[in-house]
Structure 1
Amino acid sequence: MKTPRPYVLQENNWKDVKDQAYTTAVLPWGATEAHNYHLPYGTDNYLAEAAAIAAAAIAWEKGARPVVLPVVPFGVNTGQLDVPLCINMNPSTQLEVLKDIVQVLDLQNIDKLVIVNAHGGNTFKPIIRELSALYPKVFVCALNWWRAEDGNQFFDDPGDHAGELETSAIMHLHPELVLPLDQAGDGEAKTFKIQALSTWVTTQRKWTSVTKDTGVGDPSKSTAEKGAAFFKATTQTIGDFLVELHQADTKDLYQ
């Protein structure tokens, strides 16, 4: 029988939860979208949840008291509305979801929230700005798990979407969900004809005009071993951050 991990909320009951002194809520946030031909639609959810839980475990062992909330499985996918069953959640909806969550944390005196993001289309900074005005007592921050370490130190070509980085990570975490790599697309992607749109001007990419297989990045050199090494390094870094945040006074963050 599996023993509930005290830092994973959905595994626990109120008998135990009511006696825990949690200081930091950790919210994994993913997306439901195609990932080339070979990876599951839930790739970002698997990655966000696994990274959040692994990092919380590291932090818990060092005396921090994080609690991982259930993963939010929908992200901003406005550029992929013509891809079957790619589910979009608008940024305005994300704000409303986070308002409700932060309101509860505020009422229950958990004054720190870390969003562990695994989807490139999710951008939380403008939302955090608004939340800080609504709930100034709750410190909210967001991180992209794949940026916790330099992917170029682990992969020949990390890729942007369903490339070597994501493929290797899922091969490590859920090998049973990955099709043989000879069934994957090559992940070739077009770039904007106007150079500024690829550098200093921001716009929305129309995904099916950019890539035929929904991937951006070559997955052919992916291995579970690379994924394991990268996952271990990133979750260690995130875990260390959770310890620092646990110990920090959010009213005194500057030097």
Structure 2
Amino acid sequence: MHLSDATWTDVRDADADLALLPVGSTEQHGPHAPLGTDAYHAETVAEAGADRHDETVALAPTIPVGVAEEHRRFDGTLWVSPDTFRSYVRDVVGSLAHHGMDRVIVVNGHGGNVPALGEVTATISRHDDAYAVPFTWFEAVGDRSSEMGHGGPLETALLRATHPELVREDRIDEARAGASDGWGDWVSSTNLAHDSAEFTENGVVGDPGTGDAELGDELLDRAAEALDRLLTAVADRDVSG
């Protein structure tokens, strides 16, 4: 049940207590992929997980701007502070809980959101009238997780499978040529780089050319299956303590 498409009486009659809140980012993903990649992916995975689940799941509108200042040197990137992001997520979850949707999985598509989401879902679960946990799709695709870059094979593959019209295929060679092999500039287990522009010429990490639509279908299947399992666990969990 998409809350954006439902009426208030639809929501009342559905009587759902499970909700998914997709969160993404509006940030550079190289010359070939759109700024909204992370938001598109979060929503796509949330929809697929909800479709698989046996019980009614409310799908909240996607939060499109996240903690992404690390990409500030690339045009079009938007960001909010971790404090603002945590407060916004907490307020949205609180409004869901007000209507009885008090078990919420925050479906995340952006690595920069991970620390803030871990903190805010713990705060919600400890202090508010709701239970919330984070789910980051690219951490839930098994052995494929190790291939995650930025605008690289996994993100490009999922775009090719779900939003192929948004991939600038004529720029894949350009994206590959300016990409770095890995995230960061590491010495003594410390990343010396605070911004992505310090280690990647065009914002890309990894080879987007290797991420085809077949891989994207596999990633979506893995992520949706994992999210379905998590929905069941959240629904069944005793959170009264």
Whether TM-score is above 0.5 comes out as yes
Q: Does 1:102 align with 2:93?
A: yes
Distance 1:215 1:143 in 2: 23
156, 161, 167: which one aligns with 2:150: 161
Amino acid at match of 1:112: R
The match for 1:196 is: 189
Shift of 1:246: 2.0
Distance 1:139 1:121 in 2: 22
CA RMSD, aligned part only? 2.0
Contact 1:58 1:240 in 2 (8 A): no
The match for 1:79 is: 70
Distance 1:173 1:40 in 2: 13
Q: How does 1:217-236 map to 2 (within 5 A)?
A: 217-236=206-225
93, 107, 111: which one aligns with 1:120: 111
Q: Does 1:55 align with 2:49?
A: yes
Runs of 4+ residues over 3 Å off in structure 1: none
Contact 2:96 2:102 in 1 (8 A): yes
The match for 2:16 is: 22
Deviation by residue 1:47-78 (Cα, 9 ceiling, x = unmatched): 0001001101111xx2x221010000001112
Amino acid at match of 2:11: V
129, 134, 150: which one aligns with 2:122: 129
CA distance 1:25–1:133, change in 2 (3 Å) = same
The match for 2:194 is: 205
Shift of 1:163: 0.8
Amino acid at match of 1:95: R
Contact 2:49 2:227 in 1 (8 A): yes
Contact 2:102 2:131 in 1 (8 A): yes
Contact 1:36 1:185 in 2 (8 A): no
Q: Does 1:143 align with 2:135?
A: yes
The match for 1:3 is: none
Amino acid at match of 1:92: D
Shift of 1:111: 2.0
Secondary structure at the counterpart of residue 116 of structure 1: strand
Contact 1:118 1:145 in 2 (8 A): yes
Contact 1:37 1:185 in 2 (8 A): no
Amino acid at match of 1:197: T
Distance 1:151 1:169 in 2: 16
The answer to which structure has the higher helix fraction is 2
